Amino acid sequence: MEYIDSDKQKLKINEGKGKPYNIINIHPKALHAIEKYIRFYRGNPAYEHEKALFLNKNGKRLSYMTIINTVKLAGAKAGITKRIYPHLFRASLITHMDENGASMM
């Protein structure tokens, strides 16, 4: 897929709402998981037309509500009683990186 650079461990992401693409680093384990997903799921020729990386069972891009509901369900299964939502992961990641001395730039 054109938005994955395995050699440089980079991923091109669309920030949405008309914003330009951004290039981010991706951990080797996450890269491996994505490549495995592409091989075993996205390898279906019927899904080649869709540019989104993650698709639903019908081969269409995931909706925002699907992502929200999936995160809530995973939180409930994990026994998390606090309100949980997708953006919380981003905020938590940035906080933990800052606490451990990672540069945000």
- The model's pLDDT over 1-42, given as tens digits with 9 standing for 90+, comes to 667 888 888 888 876 667 778 888 888 999 999 889 888 887
A 10 A CB-CB count for 34 gives: 18
Instruction: Compute the chain's Rg from CA coordinates.
Output: 16
Helix (H) or strand (E) holding 5: strand 4-5
Question: Could you give the CA distance from residue 85 to residue 25 in angstroms, rounded to a whole number?
Answer: 23
Residue 58 · residue 49 · CB < 8 Å? no
What pLDDT sits at residue 15?
67
Question: Could you give the CA distance from residue 42 to residue 40 in angstroms, rounded to a whole number?
Answer: 6
What pLDDT sits at residue 92?
82
Helix (H) or strand (E) holding 75: helix 64-77
- The model's pLDDT over 34-90, given as tens digits with 9 standing for 90+, comes to 889 888 887 777 777 888 888 888 888 889 899 999 999 999 999 999 999 888 877
The CA distances from residue 69 to 10, 11, 74, in Å, are 28, 25, 9
